[in-house]
Structure 1
């Protein structure tokens, strides 16, 4: 998918998410998605991305899988530079959170649970040599 094609795809999903109280159909049907608003690492512009999330043991996590591409998604670079972000979950309005990238040992443990819940993430891991990052979203 081209960068423009990916932007258009994300825009359609963002509109559908907001119009349907956090629900998105198609390939995301029934999958827990949130809208992540981050500040561009270089541009400083606000960026909104639909991102899968996982509630595990009372914590909320997002995964920079980029569908197994060899590069982290742009939002991962953004939140490393500016960890104060907002998320929209379901019909709830934006909530301020701080993103914390998990250190390797903690990441590996959480990623095992993620792969059990969503086997596609195990496949993503086989497509790339990079360590797929996991971020915890902590209420500000």
Structure 2
């Protein structure tokens, strides 16, 4: 867990230092920083997450690279859907996370895979339904 937190922190620092750009495995892929409230701890958690902008709506995918468990941030935003996102050099803004119902999720997931085929591989690695959340501007 410490290794994953260190990895995330390095990417968070790079994101903030470079106007939302991160190198390495994320180079060229749109990332946002999601600040959520821990489902159990109640503490603020920041995660760099790939996002998709389809028709002006922002979506994040709880793929966890195809692992058999949703990422921690997905549990957090289910428990506490009010969150904050940072995209590029824009100031942080409040959002409400809305988990997509199955039919809508399936339609959006097809678009995700068209844009980023690796997400199709993630889906093949697990038996779980990989969740998708829309991050709706709050207020």
State how far apart, in whole Å, the 2-side matches of 1:44 and 1:18 are: 24
| Alignment equivalent of 1:74, drawn from 39, 58, 72 | 72
Q: How does 1:36-75 map to 2 (within 5 A)?
A: 36-75=34-73
Residue 4 of structure 1: CA displacement? 1.2
Query: CA RMSD, aligned part only?
Result: 0.5
Taking the aligned partners of 2:86 and 2:94, their CA distance within structure 1 comes to: 9
Residue in structure 2 matching 1:129, options 127, 130, 139:
127
1:33-66 alpha-carbon deviations (Å, 9 max, x no partner): 0000000001000000000000012211000000
Gaps of 5+ in 2: none
Q: What per-residue deviation string (whole Å, max 9, x for no partner) do you get for residues 91-127 of structure 1?
A: 1121000000000000000000000000010000010
Q: How many aligned positions are there? A: 138
Instruction: Determine whether 1:8 maps to 2:16.
Output: no
TM-score, normalization: structure 1?
A: 0.98
Task: State the TM-score, normalizing by the size of structure 2.
Answer: 0.98
| Match for residue 138 of structure 1 among 132, 136, 139 | 136
Q: 2:103 aligns with which of 102, 105, 118?
A: 105
Alpha-carbon separation, structure 2, partners of 1:38 and 1:58: 22
